[in-house]
Amino acid sequence: MLRVCSVNQLVPGEGLRIDALTPPIAVFLTEDGTVHALDDTCTHQDASLAAGWVEDCRVECPLHASSFSLLSGEVDQPPAKRPARVHHVEVRDGEVWVELSTAVPHLPPGVLS
C-alpha cells in the first residue's frame, strides 16, 4: 500500500489529484466521511475527475458530465462508456493509504498509462 495524502488534505465533496502515480489517481472525501480512490482520468476524454463534482458517492466529469461511482467505478451517464478503475483505500491514523488496482486502466484514446 502507498501513502498518498493525509485526511486533512481532503475537502468533503472534492477530489485531490495524486500526480506521483502513473496514471494519476484521484482521492475523494465524501460528505459522509468516506474516502475513495479511482483513476483520475475520465474514460471518455482526457479530463481530471478530481476537478469534477461529487455527490451521492459519484463524481461527475467536468468536461462532458459523465458520472462515475466512487464505489465501483461504473459509469451511468454518457458519453463515457467504460468504468474508471477503482483502488482500495484504508485510512490509518489520519493518513490515506491506497492499494493500486492491478486491472488494466480504461484510459481514453491518446492518453498513455
> What does the pLDDT look like over 21-72, one tens digit per residue?
889 999 999 999 999 999 999 999 999 999 999 999 999 999 999 999 999 9
The tens digit of pLDDT for each residue in 25-39 reads 999 999 999 999 999
Q: Which of 98, 99, 88, 107 is nearest to 41 (CA)?
A: 107
pTM value surpassing 0.75: yes
**What pLDDT shows up at residue 112?**
67
Whether the ω angle into residue 23 lies within 30 degrees of 0, i.e. cis, is yes
Burial class (CB in 10 A: 0-12, 13-18, 19+), 92: exposed
What per-residue confidence (pLDDT) applies to 107?
87
What structural domains and CATH numbers belong to the chain?
10-86 (2.102.10.10)
